[in-house]
Amino acid sequence: MSPGIALLRQFKQRARASQLAFARNSGTRVRSTPFGQIVRFSGGSANFSHPWLPTLSGNGCTFQQGHVNNFPATIKGVPLDGDDSNPQPILELPNPLMLDTSNRGFLCVEVTCDPAHDWSIIKAEMVQVANPDAEDGSGDVYNPTGAAKPLKNNRARWPVALLRQRADDRIDIYEPVHFDLTHRVKFFPDNTTPQRHFFY
């Protein structure tokens, strides 16, 4: 084989090796320059499957399992990721949604404490409300001291997701909380009446 033909074969091999034999589809971009072809992919969003991660589905919402003081949150008594007897529960959202005057609502974890046992949590239910500090969950948020206000029957709510209803009735969801929660109660000077509930 002559040296010229061998050299030509090398060139052809290099050309094949550098040939872009793929179909450009969505997410793929190729930019040609005299010094080469630059290929870029559109990056997807990072997978951050965290506690309380909400997923809207139809008229309901499911959550990744979350805990408050290591107590698992539930929907009608079923853990958020289901158990041996029940599939993953769905929080049925009210129709219409409970929204404030800004078309904003919250998905909250509502804890019930037991005063006889150091105010430990005995129940953690997911609910949808407009105002987490209101007994009936309605109205605009009004809390100038922060933390969570105590509710009747030793309860308190803390939002784990925010809902925004757009003008076209589309609902967008945002997640302010990404980790399991810790809870404690602050009392009035009598040490028996709760003043505020702290979630952190």
Partner 1 sequence: MTRREYEDHIRARTIRPGLFCQQVNTPFGAKLRGYGHAEWKHPWQVTCDCALLPDGTPQWRATIEPGFSLPGGDAYITMQPDWEGFDPGVSNEVSIKSSKDRVTSPTPVPLTNDPVPYLVIDGWRNPAVSTSLKATDSGDIIYDAAEGYPPYFQQLGVVPPSKGGENGDAAYDPSRTCQIRAADIVLTQPRMGTSLDYTSSLNLAVGQPIQTVQTLFSDANYAATAGRATLTAVGKFSPPQAASADTQTLFGLLLQGNDPEYEQWHIATVWMVSPPGADPASNPDQTWTPHPQHFVFWNIMWATAIAEDKTSAPAQLSIPLPPEDQLLIGSAVALSSEALSELSALLDMGSARASYWTL
196 forms part of the interface with partner 1 (CB under 8 A): yes
Q: How far apart are CA 43 and CA 31, in angstroms?
A: 17
- Residue 160: closest CA among 135, 179, 182: 179
Q: Which stretch binds partner 1 (CB under 8 A): 53-61, 74-82, 83-91, 157-165?
A: 157-165
Which position among 1, 35, 49, 85 is part of the footprint of partner 1 (CB under 8 A)? 35
Instruction: Enter the tokens of residue 20.
Output: 């872009």
Instruction: Enter the tokens of residue 121.
Output: 């949590």
Which position among 27, 77, 87, 94 is part of the footprint of partner 1 (CB under 8 A)? 27
Which position among 79, 159, 183, 185 is part of the footprint of partner 1 (CB under 8 A)? 159
- Nearest-approach distance from CB 167 to partner 1, in angstroms: 4
Query: Please, which of residues 82-121 interact with partner 1 by CB under 8 A?
Result: 102-104, 106
9 forms part of the interface with partner 1 (CB under 8 A): no
In terms of Cβ atoms closer than 10 Å to its own Cβ (0-12, 13-18, 19+), residue 176 is exposed
Pick between residue 89 and residue 150 the one whose CB is nearest to partner 1: 150
- Residue 198: closest CA among 135, 131, 143: 143
Q: How many CA atoms lie within 13 A of 48 on its CB side?
A: 9
- Nearest-approach distance from CB 82 to partner 1, in angstroms: 26
What separation in angstroms does the CA of 161 have from each of 64, 76, 105, 123? 12, 19, 9, 19
User: In this structure, are residues 140 and 81 in contact, taking their beta carbons and an 8 Å threshold?
Assistant: no
Q: How far apart are CA 97 and CA 129, in angstroms?
A: 8
Which position among 13, 86, 120, 138 is part of the footprint of partner 1 (CB under 8 A)? 13
Q: Which stretch binds partner 1 (CB under 8 A): 60-68, 80-88, 120-128, 181-189?
A: 181-189
- Nearest-approach distance from CB 113 to partner 1, in angstroms: 18
Pick between residue 89 and residue 128 the one whose CB is nearest to partner 1: 128
Q: Which stretch binds partner 1 (CB under 8 A): 54-62, 76-84, 119-127, 186-194?
A: 186-194
Q: How far apart are CA 77 and CA 107, in angstroms?
A: 17
Q: Which stretch binds partner 1 (CB under 8 A): 44-52, 55-63, 78-86, 120-128?
A: 44-52
